[in-house]
Amino acid sequence: AQTVTQSQPEMSVQEAETVTLSCTYDTSESDYYLFWYKQPPSRQMILVIRQEAYKQQNATENRFSVNFQKAAKSFSLKISDSQLGDAAMYFCAYRSVPLNRDDKIIFGKGTRLHILP
Amino acid sequence: NAGVTQTPKFQVLKTGQSMTLQCAQDMNHNSMYWYRQDPGMGLRLIYYSASEGTTDKGEVPNGYNVSRLNKREFSLRLESAAPSQTSVYFCASNKQGMGNQPQHFGDGTRLSIL
């Protein structure tokens, strides 16, 4: 079974600085999808960025980028120019290639990010 | 564009009471999910449904039942609530067969069992 590990329960970063959140996963599959979700105090789950395992190029979305290391099974999230609105819980998620009824998504336990003004 | 709608948003129950959490999506998604979120535990899958008429257990199904009433609706029932079921519950949906598509989440239900 696949597992997702976020080893940093909490992190803090100064406003305007850069921070990297770690995520590792365990799988025997060669094709899969990875996601980072943001959960602000409002409890909404917001997609931040996604990565297809077959793509070597790291995904980027404005100030958010990932460092995807397939061999190391690592998928870290880098937030550049941190803003107060980035303060949230961040979840890393793994999704297998969906096959009929087996379409589960596995979440890590989350990293709470604090932004210091 | 409602997306995923969960009701109620908050609920307080006494131990032993029953209740049903409702979830509906208007995106024509095949797959629907129920998660619970507890501090330090992330999101844990309770049950999911890959299509109308099918349901499967997730990581923590004990004490819960589900019904996939139709393609739009997926309800979660607590038959005899216990304090250990105090949690925030999320319903989610996504397109089946589209692996790079993210899940869409409801706003959550905060449930307290006294």
Sort out which chain A residues have CB atoms less than 8 A from B99's CB and list them. 32-33, 52, 95-98
> Looking at chain B, which residue has its C-alpha nearest residue A42?
B107
Within 8 A of B56 by CB-CB distance, chain A residues are 101
Which residues are paired to B57 by β-bridges? Answer: B47
pLDDT in tens, chain A (117 residues): 789 999 999 999 999 999 999 999 999 888 899 999 999 999 999 999 999 999 989 999 999 999 999 999 999 999 999 999 999 999 999 998 766 566 778 999 999 999 999
What pLDDT was estimated at residue A98? Answer: 66
What is the distance between the terminal CA atoms of chain B, rounded to a whole angstrom? 36
Contact (CB<8Å) B51/A101? yes
Residues 6+ apart with CB under 8 A from B60: B36, B44, B45, B46
Structure token pair of residue B67: 């019904």
Strands (E), A7-100: 10-14, 19-21, 24-26, 32-39, 46-52, 60-61, 64-69, 74-79, 88-96
pLDDT of the residue at A39: 96
**pLDDT for position B83:** 96
Q: What pLDDT sits at residue A102?
A: 66
Contact list, B35 vs chain A (CB under 8 Å): 107
pLDDT in tens, B79-100: 999 999 999 999 999 887 667 7
- Contact criterion met (CB < 8 Å) for A109 and B54: no
Q: How much is the pLDDT for A101? A: 60
Average pLDDT, chain B: 92
B37, B44, B54, B59: best to mutate for the A interface, most A CBs within 10 A: B37
Q: For residues B90-114, give the mean pLDDT.
A: 88
CA distances from B4 to A18, A43, B34 (A): 33, 14, 12
Judging contacts by C-beta atoms under 8 Å, the chain B residues touching residue A107 are 35, 42-44
